[in-house]
């Protein structure tokens, strides 16, 4: 059974700081890993998708890496801003599960002005 863990559960940083969010998964037989952002009471916004054959993806101030063999991914946020405050979720798709995503519990990020 695939399990996804995110550390830390919550993080509070001053504006401008670079930060790293961690995601680990137990079953390395995955198709891809996706990072999402969720604002309170809202749906999920896709940030980055990393295919199992890739090592990293970048979008603006965001960089996500994937180490499939060790079951780990990191989301790096550069020069954080108060608008980055949200819950960040990682999710994996297993090789045998169609489009089914297995989610971590999320990291609640607060960026203080």
Partner 1 sequence: KAGVTQTPRYLIKTRGQQVTLSCSPISGHRSVSWYQQTPGQGLQFLFEYFSETQRNKGNFPGRFSGRQFSNSRSEMNVSTLELGDSALYLCASNRGGSTDTQYFGPGTRLTVL
Kindly identify the residues of this chain, within the stretch 44-63, that bind partner 1 according to CB under 8 A. Answer: 44-46, 49, 51
User: Count residues contacting partner 1 (CB under 8 A)?
Assistant: 26
- Strands 19-25, 4-7: parallel, antiparallel or unpaired by DSSP? antiparallel
- Could you give phi then psi for residue 5, rounded to 5 degrees? -125, 135
Q: Which of 31, 62, 74, 85 binds partner 1 (CB under 8 A)?
A: 31
- Could you give phi then psi for residue 84, rounded to 5 degrees? -80, -10
Site for partner 1, rule CB under 8 A = 31-32, 34, 36, 41-46, 49, 51, 89, 91, 93, 95, 97-106
């Amino acid at each position: 059974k695939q399990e996804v863990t995110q550390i830390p559960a919550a993080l509070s940083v001053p504006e401008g700081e670079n930060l790293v969010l961690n995601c680990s998964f137990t079953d390395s037989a995955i198709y891809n890993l996706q990072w999402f952002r969720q604002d309170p009471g809202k749906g999920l916004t896709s940030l980055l998708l990393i295919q199992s054959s890739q090592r990293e993806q970048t979008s603006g101030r965001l960089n996500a890496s994937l180490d499939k063999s060790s079951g780990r991914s990191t989301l790096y946020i550069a020069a954080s801003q108060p608008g980055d405050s949200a819950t960040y979720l990682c999710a994996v798709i297993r090789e045998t599960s169609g489009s089914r995503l297995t989610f971590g519990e999320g990291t609640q990020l607060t960026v203080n002005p």
